[in-house]
Amino acid sequence: MCRWLAYSGEALQPSSLILDTKHSVVAMSLNSPLGAETVNGDGFGLGWYSTDAAAADGPAVYRSTEPAWNDQNLREISRAVRTPLFFTHVRAAAAPPIQQTNCHPFRHENWLFMHNGAIHGFESFKRELVLDVDPSLYPSIQGTTDTEVLFHLALTYGLMDDPVAAVGAAIRRVEKAGQAAGEQFPMQGTLAVTDGVTVWAFRYSTQGRSRSLFHSADIPTLREMYPDVARLNDFGDHARVVVSEPLNDLPGVFLEVPESTVAVVEPDGYRHAEFLPA
């Protein structure tokens, strides 16, 4: 119930994608053409890895409950840092509470996780899912969202060893609990996970009608297609974006990720594979 963007490639200021594009994530927070909700004003987050090894061991996360569109600190921070890999997310909450601990991306050690969608009927089987979380991970659940529980299930099932298998197992666990509670289509959404090097982006819903997901085309190819679009020169050859909806209206720049697919973005390429096919 949100919008998100993941970037990987040459280091840049997050502002160039968060603030400075036609349908930037901040613009989407106010008006999201393809979103299930038009307004995503219930907080946001920015998680980024530093180019400067001395600066931080893991990713930093800035989260706020203010709408992204007028958050002065987001403007400052997203211009002041440079990063080769970042996640950003704007939130439309189903209900209160609106609090930083409910803002994506969520973090565990070197990993980040974010979600656009919902676990339908979550309140009625939340307790069952939480009981499945590894007791050593349990105390780090700090908010009230379905996504944070899903992340902790995936960590329990081995996210840090095999992210595709672990996210698949977590979703299957959610579907089992949800369907036992009478929910026909428990899982909905797109998910992004990273260890700071690779980004895994999942598009999946129990019903097979998932929220939208796109990835950017190859930058050198785009430069040939659009020699007059100066903005393409702002990006390096390895710049890749995965995003809830296209950041601009140029045909061919953003390609849809198919249903039941995991898109894998690595420093030197992009590939996708089937994920939990029907």
Q: How far is the CB of 124 from a second copy (least distance, A)?
A: 8
Is the Cβ of residue 40 or residue 261 nearer to a second copy in the bound state?
40
Report d(CA 115, CA 91) in Å as an integer: 10
Is the Cβ of residue 55 or residue 197 nearer to a second copy in the bound state?
55
34 contributes a contact to a second copy by CB under 8 A: no
3-state secondary structure of 277: coil
Among 53-61, 159-167, 205-213, 239-247, the segment contacting a second copy (CB under 8 A): 53-61
Is the Cβ of residue 79 or residue 272 nearer to a second copy in the bound state?
79
Strand partners, 7: 86, 241
* DSSP string across 187-252: EEEEEEEESSS-EEEEEEETTS-PPP-EEEPPHHHHHHH-TT-GGGGGS-TT-EEEESS-SS--TT
What is the number of alpha carbons within 13 Å of residue 120 lying toward its C-beta?
14
Residues 6+ apart with CB under 8 A from 246: 23, 214, 253, 254
Report d(CA 6, CA 246) in Å as an integer: 12
| Position 270, amino acid | Y
Is the Cβ of residue 79 or residue 176 nearer to a second copy in the bound state?
79
252 contributes a contact to a second copy by CB under 8 A: no
Applying CB under 8 A, which of residues 20, 36, 101, 158 lies at the interface with a second copy? 101
Is the Cβ of residue 168 or residue 196 nearer to a second copy in the bound state?
196
CB 71, CB 44: distance < 8 Å: yes
41 contributes a contact to a second copy by CB under 8 A: yes
CB 61, CB 274: distance < 8 Å: no
225 contributes a contact to a second copy by CB under 8 A: no
Applying CB under 8 A, which of residues 67, 84, 105, 189 lies at the interface with a second copy? 67
81 contributes a contact to a second copy by CB under 8 A: yes
Check residue 52 and report its DSSP letter: -
* Selection from 50, 230, 34, 150 nearest residue 159 by Cα: 150
97 contributes a contact to a second copy by CB under 8 A: yes
| Position 171, amino acid | I
By CB under 8 A, what part of segment 144-163 binds a second copy? 144
233 contributes a contact to a second copy by CB under 8 A: no
Applying CB under 8 A, which of residues 82, 108, 172, 176 lies at the interface with a second copy? 82
Is the Cβ of residue 61 or residue 255 nearer to a second copy in the bound state?
61
Q: Which residues bind a second copy (CB under 8 A)?
A: 13, 30-31, 38-39, 41-42, 48, 50-52, 54-56, 60-67, 69-70, 72-73, 76-77, 79-82, 93, 95-101, 123-124, 126-127, 131, 135, 138-139, 142, 144
